[in-house]
């Protein structure tokens, strides 16, 4: 415990200073959320590269929670889905049902090139299509995988902070 205390003191604050607020703003339906956006992450068939970046977005360095975004455990608690990867056959129904379980107003973030246009998996036999083909998408974050800065900017667009 003493070691941990010393470490906490020595490390201090690791969160980077917040960059300028991005200009892009939320889709109208989501504007009334007012600085608090709960996210449910759905892995529709990603290679887990995007997941690593999401983990670092909510880690201490980028600390997306300071802008009012938070990952939650249930789609019922969520305001938006974060979908990664191309939608595979096995996940198509699951993604659709998860989307239906979210209370309105709701949004969908397609994270990564795979989610936007199937990326490197385009044309693969197990892939149904991009996220857009299954559920309506409000925000897209390009990149393979997208940089944490880009993800943070997209989330700040939603929370407006």
Q: Given the structure tokens 């857009």, which residue do they identify?
A: 132
Asked if 98 interacts with ligand SF4 (CB under 6 A), we say no
> Judged by CB under 8 A, does residue 65 bind other proteins?
yes
Residue 142 binds what, of other proteins, ligand SF4, none (CB under 5 to 8 Å, by partner type)? none
Residue 46 binds which entry of ligand SF4, other proteins, none, CB below 5-8 Å type-dependent: ligand SF4
Among 15, 52, 124, 144, binds other proteins (CB under 8 A): 15
- For the beta carbon of residue 74, count every other beta carbon within 10 angstroms: 11
Residues 102 and 136 sit within 8 Å (Cβ to Cβ): no
Helices and strands counted in the chain (H then E): 5, 7
Tokens of 142: 């390009």
Q: Which residues bind ligand SF4 (CB under 6 A)?
A: 46-47, 49-50, 84-85, 112-114, 119-120, 144-145
């Amino acid at each position: 415990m003493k070691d941990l205390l010393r470490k906490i003191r020595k490390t201090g604050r690791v969160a980077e200073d917040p960059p300028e607020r991005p200009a892009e703003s939320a889709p109208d339906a989501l504007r009334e959320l007012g600085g608090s956006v709960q996210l449910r992450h759905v892995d529709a068939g990603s290679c887990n590269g995007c997941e690593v970046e999401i983990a670092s977005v909510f880690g201490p360095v980028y600390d997306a929670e300071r802008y009012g975004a938070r990952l939650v455990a249930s789609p019922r608690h969520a305001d938006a889905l974060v979908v990664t990867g191309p939608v595979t056959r096995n996940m198509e129904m699951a993604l659709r049902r998860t989307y239906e379980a979210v209370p309105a107003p709701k949004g969908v973030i397609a994270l990564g090139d795979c989610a936007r246009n199937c990326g490197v998996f385009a044309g693969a036999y197990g892939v149904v299509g991009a996220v857009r083909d299954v559920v309506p998408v409000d925000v897209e974050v390009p990149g393979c995988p997208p940089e944490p800065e880009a993800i943070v900017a997209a989330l700040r667009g939603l929370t407006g902070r």
